[in-house]
């Protein structure tokens, strides 16, 4: 990647797990009532067809990783497990009461925090409690995030027994200097053991998460991590840029100096070299920052044009409605977003009062829905079209003007009724989406809200 392009387009920008992005949600017009109405509308439209997705946030970790931007509670007290599970199951019951009939569950993902902080027995109880209120959809997909250091055979077996077939492990980097800086010490042997155990039990998709742009991380470190990854050949990979936003995430990302981080040119080189190494052994680039073998459902979904992106990242199982359970979880009805409170004690209090614990959200208007579709197209298919009259919007000529320079730089091609991102432009997909982001264009933030795009 040419260093001039990196310098030119390396600006702060959203990752577009949603549109509108969270800082542009209109909380003034949002209420729990209109959130419920948007969810019921979506449920009635889609439950018989595709079902719903569930994301369950399990926030507890025994130690703090300084690269992490997730909502977590650091504790070694495992007696917190049962009260939290009980609260999540009650929240699920509150949602089932709103929906009025049994939801068809198409996708379920456990995120964190550290889901494997919980005992195998408690995880199994949680999933059984959720499934008792729903119906399994055809082709359902259950997945969880596992910590290589504490994911046991018992964890994997217990979740396999209740339908899980996909697990992803946070690897980040195998170099000890980098691991010490991010406070995530895990030898290759631990990742190897966790990966092989999952395959022996019968998991059909094992993923690894690798991050570039970490403190003290060199190009050689990234090469080494990719070469070690080749030995295990996970079915899919998330290979993405570290998002350094300590002004938002607080002390967790203050464990090192800004000067310890690689510059933009080195980060892009890390990405390009890593991507080339992955390509050599058969990985295909999926959307932004994701890779998969041709045998994995994520690749197959991309080929078939069914790839979807939501708050869980890229997924092969698109559903119109996604319900988030647990502290800080975000739900998506397609017509609206809602985020749960972030404090565990406040979460418990609202649940005890039989209140769905959302504290902010956004109901999408017609313009939002059109722009959301374009950004999803760009993020998932690297192209979009306004051939359908519904997808034309009055500011489109202004958007095309903003894209002129990127077109001149060979990042995309503009047609009469659409655009297509060139391979050269894949690393800049966030920048291209920003040109479509009408809310961002109308009101640039006074302070930096997002990580850098490169």
Query: How far is Cα 30 from Cα 226, in angstroms, rounded to an integer?
Result: 45
User: Which H or E run includes 40?
Assistant: helix 32-46
User: Which H or E run includes 153?
Assistant: helix 153-161
Is there a binding annotation on residue 320?
Answer: no
User: Which H or E run includes 344?
Assistant: helix 344-352
Is there a binding annotation on residue 113?
Answer: yes
Is there a binding annotation on residue 330?
Answer: yes
Q: In the numeric block, which tokens belong to residue 52?
A: 């719903």
Is there a binding annotation on residue 13?
Answer: no
- Cβ proximity of 326 and 60 under 8 Å: no
Tell which residue, 68, 59, 55, 67, has the closest CA to residue 95.
Answer: 55
Tell which residue, 174, 153, 272, 156, has the closest CA to residue 221.
Answer: 174
Is there a binding annotation on residue 184?
Answer: yes
Query: How far is Cα 212 from Cα 221, in angstroms, rounded to an integer?
Result: 9
Is there a binding annotation on residue 145?
Answer: yes
Is there a binding annotation on residue 413?
Answer: no
Is there a binding annotation on residue 112?
Answer: yes
* Cβ neighbours of residue 320 closer than 8 Å, sequence gap 6 or more: 42, 45, 46, 50, 333, 334
Query: How far is Cα 376 from Cα 19, in angstroms, rounded to an integer?
Result: 9
SS3 percent helix, strand, coil of the chain, rounded to 5, is 45, 20, 35
Is there a binding annotation on residue 209?
Answer: yes
Is there a binding annotation on residue 243?
Answer: yes
CB atoms within 10 A of CB 367: 14
- Cβ proximity of 3 and 447 under 8 Å: no
Is there a binding annotation on residue 183?
Answer: no
Is there a binding annotation on residue 371?
Answer: no
Is there a binding annotation on residue 172?
Answer: yes
Query: How far is Cα 299 from Cα 280, in angstroms, rounded to an integer?
Result: 16
For the annotated binding site for [4Fe-4S] cluster, the residues are: 61, 65, 68
For the annotated binding site, the residues are: 55, 61, 65, 67-69, 112-114, 145, 172, 184, 209, 243, 330
For the annotated binding site for S-adenosyl-L-methionine, the residues are: 55, 67-69, 112-114, 145, 172, 184, 209, 243, 330
């Amino acid at each position: 990647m040419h260093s001039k392009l990196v310098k030119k387009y390396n600006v702060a920008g959203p990752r577009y797990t949603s549109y509108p992005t969270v800082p542009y949600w209109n909380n003034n017009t949002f209420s729990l009532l209109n959130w419920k109405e948007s969810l019921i509308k979506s449920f009635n439209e889609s439950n018989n067809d595709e079902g719903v997705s569930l994301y369950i946030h399990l926030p507890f970790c025994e130690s703090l990783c300084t690269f992490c931007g997730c909502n977590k509670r650091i504790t070694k007290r495992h007696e917190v497990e049962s009260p939290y599970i009980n609260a999540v199951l009650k929240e699920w019951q509150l949602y089932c009461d709103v929906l009025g009939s049994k939801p068809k569950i198409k996708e379920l993902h456990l995120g964190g925090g550290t889901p494997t902080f919980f005992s195998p027995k408690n995880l199994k109880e949680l999933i059984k409690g959720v499934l008792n209120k729903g119906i399994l959809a055809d082709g359902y997909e259950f997945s969880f995030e596992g910590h290589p250091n504490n994911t046991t055979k018992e964890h994997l077996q217990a979740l396999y027994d209740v339908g899980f077939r996909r697990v992803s492990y946070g690897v980040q980097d195998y170099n000890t200097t980098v691991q010490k800086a991010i406070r995530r010490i895990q030898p290759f042997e631990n990742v190897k053991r966790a990966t092989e155990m999952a395959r022996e039990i019968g998991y059909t998709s094992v993923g690894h998460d690798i991050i570039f742009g970490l403190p003290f991380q060199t190009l050689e470190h990234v090469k080494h991590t990719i070469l070690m990854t080749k030995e295990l050949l996970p079915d899919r990979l998330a290979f993405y840029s570290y998002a350094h936003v300590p002004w938002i995430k607080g002390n967790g990302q203050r464990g090192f100096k800004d000067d310890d981080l690689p510059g933009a040119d080195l980060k892009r080189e890390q990405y390009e070299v890593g991507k080339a190494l992955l390509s050599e052994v058969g990985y295909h680039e999926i959307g932004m920052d994701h890779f998969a073998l041709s045998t994995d459902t994520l690749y197959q979904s991309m080929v078939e044009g069914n790839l979807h992106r939501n708050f869980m990242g890229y997924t092969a199982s698109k559903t119109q409605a996604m319900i988030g359970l647990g502290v800080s979880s975000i739900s998506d009805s397609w017509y609206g977003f809602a985020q749960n409170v972030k404090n565990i004690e406040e979460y418990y209090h609202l649940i005890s009062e039989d209140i769905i614990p959302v504290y902010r959200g956004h109901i999408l208007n017609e313009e939002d829905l059109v722009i959301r579709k374009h950004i999803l197209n760009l993020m998932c298919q690297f192209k979009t079209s306004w051939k359908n009259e519904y997808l034309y919007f009055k500011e489109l000529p202004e958007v095309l003007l903003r894209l002129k320079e990127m077109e001149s730089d060979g990042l995309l091609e503009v047609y009469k009724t659409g655009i297509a991102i060139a391979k050269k432009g894949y690393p800049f997909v966030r920048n291209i989406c920003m040109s479509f982001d009408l809310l961002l264009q109308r009101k640039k933030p006074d302070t930096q809200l997002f990580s850098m795009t490169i």
